[in-house]
Structure 1
Amino acid sequence: MGDAHGVGIVGLGNISRQYLDALAGHPEIRIVAVADLSEERAAAVAAETGAEAVPAAELVRHPAVQTVLNLTIPAAHAEIAHAAIEAGRAVYGEKPLAVSVDEGRGIVEAGARSGVAVGSAPDTVLGTGVQTARRAVDDGLIGRPVAASATMITAGHERWHPNPDFYYQPGGGPMLDMGPYYVSALVTLLGPVVAVSGAASRLRSERVIGSGPRAGETIPVDVDTHVTGILEHANGAISTIVTSFDGTTTTASPIEVHGTDGTLLVPDPNRFDGDVVLHRPGAEPETLAVSGGYDGAGRGVGLVDFVRTAPGVEPRAGGAMALHVLDIMTGILRAAEQGGRVELTTTTARPEAVPFTAREDWHS
Structure 2
Amino acid sequence: MTENRLRVGIVGCGKIVSQYLESFRRLDGVRLAAVADLDPGRAQAVAEEYGDGVRALGVEELLAAADVDLVLNLTVPAAHAEVALAAIAAGKAVYGEKPLAATTGEARKVLEAAREAGVVVGCAPDTVLGTGIQTARKAIDDGLIGAPVAATATMVTPGHERWHPNPDFYYQPGGGPLLDMGPYYVSALVTLLGPVVSVIGAASHTRSERTIGSGPRAGETVPVTVDTHVTGVLVHESGALSTLVMSFDAVATTSSNIEVHGPLGTLAVPDPNHFDGDTRLYRLGGSEWETLPVSAGYEGSGRGYGIADLAATPEGQEPRASGTLAYHVLDVMESLLDSAHTGKAVAVESRADRPAAVPLSRKEG
Whether these two folds match at TM > 0.5 is yes
From 129, 149, 152, the counterpart of 1:149 = 152
State TM-score, norm by structure 1: 0.98
Seen in structure 2, the aligned counterparts of structure 1 residues 209 and 36 have a Cα distance that, compared at 3 Å, is: same
Structure 2 portions without partners, runs of 5+: none
From 190, 194, 204, the counterpart of 2:193 = 190
Report what 1:76 is aligned to: 79
Give the distance between the partners of 2:84 and 2:145, measured in 1 at CA. 40
2:184 partner amino acid: Y
The question of 1:216 aligning with 2:219 is answered: yes
Give the distance between the partners of 1:38 and 1:308, measured in 2 at CA. 33
Give the distance between the partners of 1:22 and 1:314, measured in 2 at CA. 22
SS of residue matched to 1:207: strand
SS of residue matched to 2:149: strand
**Superposed counterparts of 1:29-108, under 5 Å:** 29-49=30-50, 50-108=53-111
**Structure 1 residues 82-110: Cα deviation after superposition (integer angstroms, max 9, x where no partner):** 01111111000000000111111111111
Q: How far has the Cα of 1:6 moved from its partner?
A: 0.9
The question of 1:246 aligning with 2:249 is answered: yes
From 350, 357, 363, the counterpart of 2:361 = 357
Give the distance between the partners of 1:25 and 1:188, measured in 2 at CA. 26
**Superposed counterparts of 1:166-315, under 5 Å:** 166-283=169-286, 284-315=288-319
Structure 1 portions without partners, runs of 5+: none
Give the distance between the partners of 1:144 and 1:299, measured in 2 at CA. 31
**Structure 1 residues 161-193: Cα deviation after superposition (integer angstroms, max 9, x where no partner):** 000000000000000000000000000000000
Structure 1 stretches of at least 4 aligned residues deviating more than 3 Å after TM superposition: none
Tell me, yes or no, if the aligned pair for 2:7 and 2:67 is still in contact at 8 Å: yes
- Paired residues in the alignment total 361
SS of residue matched to 1:213: coil
Give the distance between the partners of 1:188 and 1:25, measured in 2 at CA. 26
Give the distance between the partners of 1:154 and 1:147, measured in 2 at CA. 24
The question of 1:334 aligning with 2:338 is answered: yes
Give the distance between the partners of 2:145 and 2:71, measured in 1 at CA. 40
SS of residue matched to 2:307: helix
Q: How far has the Cα of 1:138 moved from its partner?
A: 0.5
**Structure 1 residues 322-345: Cα deviation after superposition (integer angstroms, max 9, x where no partner):** 000000011111110111100011
Q: How far has the Cα of 1:25 moved from its partner?
A: 4.4
SS of residue matched to 1:33: strand
Deviates more, 1:281-290 or 1:176-185: 281-290
Tell me, yes or no, if the aligned pair for 2:263 and 2:284 is still in contact at 8 Å: no
2:313 partner amino acid: T
**Structure 1 residues 20-43: Cα deviation after superposition (integer angstroms, max 9, x where no partner):** 111114322111111001111111
Give the distance between the partners of 1:211 and 1:45, measured in 2 at CA. 22
Deviates more, 1:46-55 or 1:159-168: 46-55
Seen in structure 2, the aligned counterparts of structure 1 residues 291 and 225 have a Cα distance that, compared at 3 Å, is: same
2:213 partner amino acid: G
Deviates more, 1:6-15 or 1:306-315: 306-315
Report what 1:127 is aligned to: 130
State TM-score, norm by structure 2: 0.97
From 325, 328, 332, the counterpart of 1:324 = 328
2:16 partner amino acid: I
Give the distance between the partners of 1:350 and 1:4, measured in 2 at CA. 27
Q: How far has the Cα of 1:295 moved from its partner?
A: 0.6
* Identical positions, percent: 62
Give the distance between the partners of 1:310 and 1:116, measured in 2 at CA. 13
Give the distance between the partners of 1:275 and 1:169, measured in 2 at CA. 34
Give the distance between the partners of 1:3 and 1:228, measured in 2 at CA. 44
Report what 1:347 is aligned to: 351
From 164, 175, 188, the counterpart of 1:161 = 164
Give the distance between the partners of 1:151 and 1:347, measured in 2 at CA. 24
1:309 partner amino acid: T
Give the distance between the partners of 2:195 and 2:250, measured in 1 at CA. 29
Tell me, yes or no, if the aligned pair for 2:211 and 2:221 is still in contact at 8 Å: yes
The question of 1:9 aligning with 2:13 is answered: no
Give the distance between the partners of 1:309 and 1:26, measured in 2 at CA. 15
From 137, 140, 155, the counterpart of 2:140 = 137
Tell me, yes or no, if the aligned pair for 2:108 and 2:327 is still in contact at 8 Å: yes
| Two-structure CA RMSD over aligned residues (Å) | 1.0
Give the distance between the partners of 1:127 and 1:6, measured in 2 at CA. 23
SS of residue matched to 1:181: helix
